[in-house]
Every structure is written in C-alpha cells, then in structure tokens.
Structure 1
C-alpha cells in the first residue's frame, strides 16, 4: 500500500518550498551600522540586530560607526545591510552633501521604519542668568557635542538662524557638562535622547536652567530645518516645572535599496509586530510604531518595507518607493 500525504502535509511542503525560494537570494549574514558605544544608536541597533537575527535565522550584529552620516555611506555602498540615521543627515547625504564623500548622492539607502525622535535642548547654569535664547550673550562659548554628530551638524545652524553669535566647542556630553559646571562653557546645546544623562547629572550637582524655544523661535527653526515640534515633558527633569517647547529630528532605520524585498519585509515585520520586545531593548522604541510611518518625508522606502506598511494601511505613494 502506497503511503499518502494529508492535505496539511502537502500544504506544509508547499509553504516550505516557497519559503526556501523566497530566501534563495537572502544574505547569509548582515551588519547594522549604529554609532559609538554608550550612545542610544549603539544600544538600539545592537539589540535590534540580535532580534532580527533570531527571528529570521540569519547571523547579524551591530557595528560601531561614526553615526548617521557614516551610516548613510555604509548602507549606500553595501558595506552594511542596515543602518540607523537621522533625517537631517539623510537629506544632506541624498543631496551629495555628506562630508564623507562630497558630491556623491547616496540614493541607495532606503527607509525601513521609524525609530524615535532626537530633541534639541539648551542648558545653562542658573548662575549665568541665561533663561532664554535671546539672553545668550554674543561670543558665548557653546558646547555642541561630538564633532560630526547630529547636534554638531545642526544646532550651530539653528543658533545662527536665531541670531546667536557664539564660539563653537566640541566634546563628549559628559565632558561638556563638566566644562559648563567649571565655567569653561556658557551653554550646552544638546541633540540627544532625553533625559540626557549629562543634564540629569548636572541638575543633581548644581542649579541649571533648561531653556525652551519661544513659539516664534520654534517656527523659524521648523521652517528652516527637517525637524518636528516637540515638548520635553516636565517629568523628564526635576528642574522642569512645565513642558519645555523644543524641536526634534526623526531617526529612521535604513536598508540597502537593492536588498531582497522579502528579506527586508521579514525584518520589518519582526520589528514592528513586537514593540514590547523592542522597548525592552531601549525605551526610545516606544516611538517605533506603525503610526509614525508618515514622519519620513526624505528617504525613498524600500519595497519590502513599503509592502508591510501598506498592508497595515499606510498610504505610501508610489513615487516614494524605490523602483516604484
């Protein structure tokens, strides 16, 4: 008597064959370009790499890099499959203004999913008497964070837009916090996830002012830069008694535009359908949700990512999808 297969067994074999076919052009491993160790990008990206590797059965890991600008270059050239970037540096990279390769339009980096916002905030010692942007004196020594960071790239331009004349200083956030406390800086202009550890440490040790933008200042910045309105919640710092008006720049995960559609689709699906796990990797992933898909107005979407978001109801136009 010949053995027979049940309908369920036949269906399973068909599904297996289709899955194997879908994976035929998948990479055997992948890297995610993140940033320096100790930063949010590195923690988020390394944890996300482990998650995707486990879910897809493909070896993957986070890679230490110089941050958003370098990540655009690494993904564009294919040296990294995935990366993390900020929409401001992404726009400059697309326009050929990435300092890593001036003139090269990095159009082979496509959007995967929204990550979280990076707010821009200003801090000064209370003893300085600086309580507003307009109080910052001409020639003030302002710390803008690590050289080449999103903060160092955009905050000096924002200050110039608001008419502030300053001396530019760079360094790690903790180091700049110490310089502010020692009187070597007048102001620190932060672009980092909140609460910024350096600010939290400062307010324990001394009295500080966390300076918000006026409505007019916020409008000027929104008109000139790829940022969105943002309020720093009063609960973020003990110094704040009410939300502080600010702006923020969205961070997005990116993929090489020529990666297989099914590979990117499954990576996005694994990420977006388990937010609790993403939040366990880093609290900022509370913003890594479907509803924030429309924050991308800079990058073309990877076809695999666009497919998943469209299945959930996202109205992504064809001219924003790579090859669409």
Structure 2
C-alpha cells in the first residue's frame, strides 16, 4: 500500500518536475514560478554553517543560472523563522531546533508553529565539542573551573540552545557568553574566555585557525559524560576523527545532532527538485566545499525522522534517486 502511495505521489509531482537533473542541463526544465534570486540562511562567519551554506548556494547559483548566496544569520532557530516566513528561500537547521520550531516553542516567535519550512536534503552531523587553550591546563570537562567564561556561539544557535543545558547537566558552573565563532575564537586566544563550546560541523574553521596560531586542547567527553548527555538530549554518539584536527592524536568522544537544509514550502517543486539535484548528485564537489559534506549523501534522507515535512520537489528527488520510503502524510500539501 505504501509503495502504491509513493508511486502515485511520484507521478503527481512529476507533472511539474521533468527528470530535472538532465532537463536543467539541457535548459528544458519548466521554470514557471522560479525566483530570480535566492538566499540561504547560514549562521555567523567562522562557523561551518556559513562556509558550507555559502558554498552550496554559490554552486546552485552557478549551475542553475540564478543569482544566489549565503546570508549571515543567528543560526538554526532564526533560519527556521526566515524560511517559514519566506524571508529566505532556503536555510539550514538542526533537528532539535527544527522540532522546537514546528512545535511553536522557537524563542524568536513563541507560540507560532513554523510549519512552512520543509525538509530539502540531509547535510551532516553537528558534533558538540569543547576547546580550551593548552596554557589553561583544562583537559577535561571536570577540570573546567567554577565561574568559567564559556563562549556558546551566537544567541539562539544550536550550540547556544543545547550546550549550556548539557554543561549544567554535567555539573559545570559557568558564565554564559555569546558571539560569532570567529569572535569567540579570538576572545579565547586573548584570554577573555576560558572555554569555547562548539556545536558545528567539523572541522570548525575557527578551531582550525586557532590550531595554527596557538596550542589548544580539544576536550572529549568521558564515557559517563557521553551516556548522561545521550540520555537527556536528542543527540547521537559521535567520534571526531583523529585526522580532523592536527591537535588530535586519537578520535575524540562526542555527541552529535543531524542537520538538514530547508526550503520554504511554497517554492515551486521543479525549482527545489533542481536545487536538490545539484547538491546531491555530486558528493565530491560538495566535499570540496567543506569536508563535513562527506555525510551529504542520498541514503541519509531518513535522518529527518519525520521531524520536518518534506518539500514535494525534494521528496520526488529522494523517491526517484535514493529509493526513499517517504510516507505521503510526511510530504507538505498531502
């Protein structure tokens, strides 16, 4: 029954989407209703969202011949709001903020269910990691001193939303600081912060830059700390590979949250299908934009886990190209 439903959906969406990958290349795709330009909501400069998002925005703009680019934002929570209202065509979010936004608990607009932001494609996992200067002597979470000044990223970001709660759960006493990743990295180096707590795809540009300029400690969670966080938050086990940072001599134990690209649900199906095709059809090209894109693979479509409604154009692509088993009631408009 589900296969029949999906086949009917595929047939209906296909009326407006003509094997877009080939058609775009030939210039024959129906571009009715396509915008003349688009923006992708990312996050602050110096973070993975900005590098990754600006990269795929430029790639899509070049491939489809439409003006577009990344826009600096406050991160996943604000991106959900911008895409929901249509102020940004596309954005990027993590599953935690996405679920909160759909439930109407996004702090940007409390009580407003942001149901007009649709899933477009899986990006990568966001690991939660802690960095301190080697000169601080901090080598573990338990060694973070009481009252430590911790930078958690931009206000409202995934990091700022969840990392303070994680630290409190682990018994850390701290002063909360916010700012862009590049700024926080500079403040750590200047001694204005004791620790920075990143939730961002690895390698985080700001951490890579710090490694070049000074000695840092990339602090992993103990097995017990990891288990505590897994029990309390919507995250998964994760290891930061030893090859990600020159500082690491072995994999670092962490936790992570999946990220998805999102689209305003009212965008034409043919347009979103074409964008997804550009991003998902050549992973090597995406990895050249950012190494975190190694996980930007068609088979990861299921990491949405029913949190976000699928955009019909995106659902069509994954059904046809990844054998995605997306229930019709999880696709916007059905």
Q: With structure 2 as the length reference, what TM-score do the two structures score?
A: 0.82
On the 8 A contact 2:52/2:290 being kept in 1, the answer is yes
| 1:302 corresponds to | 311
State whether structure 2 residue 111 is matched by structure 1 residue 103: yes
Report the CA distance between 1:231 and its aligned residue: 0.6
Q: Name the counterpart of 1:7.
A: none
The answer for unaligned runs of 5 or more in structure 2 is 1-22
Which of 152, 158, 178 pairs up with 2:160? 152
The 1:197–1:260 alpha-carbon spacing in structure 2 relative to 1, beyond 3 Å, is: closer
Offset at residue 38 of structure 1 (A): 4.3
Structure 1 Cα separation of the partners of residues 133 and 45 of structure 2: 28
More moved, 68-77 vs 125-134: 125-134
Rounded Cα–Cα distance in structure 1 between residues aligned with 2:259 and 2:110: 22
Q: 8 Å contact 2:123–2:295 — kept in the other structure? A: yes
Matched, 1:321 2:316: no
Aligned residues: 308
Structure 2 CA distance for partners of 1:213 and 1:269, relative to 1, 3 Å? same
With 109-118 and 81-90 compared, the bigger mean Cα shift is at: 81-90
1:33 aligns with 2:58: no
> Could you say which structure has the larger radius of gyration?
1
Matching of residues 208-247 of structure 1 within 5 Å: 208-247=216-255
Is residue 46–residue 181 contact of structure 2 (8 Å, CA) maintained in 1? no
Change (3 A) 1:24 1:194: closer
Indicate the RMSD between aligned Cα atoms, in angstroms.
2.6
Matches of residues 84-103 of structure 1 in structure 2 within 5 Å?
84-103=92-111
What's the secondary structure of 2:258's corresponding residue?
strand
Q: Structure 1 residue 300: deviation in Å?
A: 1.4
Could you tell me how far apart the structure 1 residues matched to 2:35 and 2:212 are?
48
Pick closer, same or farther for the CA change 1:31–1:145 going to 2, 3 Å.
closer
CA contact (8 A) 2:45 2:180 kept: no
Deviation at 1:122, TM superposition (A): 1.1
Match of 1:135 among 123, 143, 147: 143
Residue aligning to 1:187: 195
Q: CA deviation at 1:245?
A: 0.4
Taking a change above 3 Å as real, the CA distance of residues 41 and 197 of structure 1, as seen in their structure-2 partners, is: closer
For 1:64 and 1:293, the matched residues in 2 are separated by: 26
In the alignment, structure 1 segments of 5+ residues that lack a partner are: 1-14
Counterpart Cα distance in 2 of 1:250 and 1:229: 11
Q: 1:61 aligns with which of 51, 69, 72?
A: 69
1:253 counterpart (257, 261, 279) = 261
Q: Which moved more, 1:48-57 or 1:267-276?
A: 48-57
- Larger RCO, structure (CA 8 Å, separation 6 or more): 2
SS in structure 2 at match of 1:235: coil
> Structure 2 CA distance, aligned partners of 1:26 and 1:202?
42
- Counterparts of 2:47 and 2:130, CA distance in 1: 19
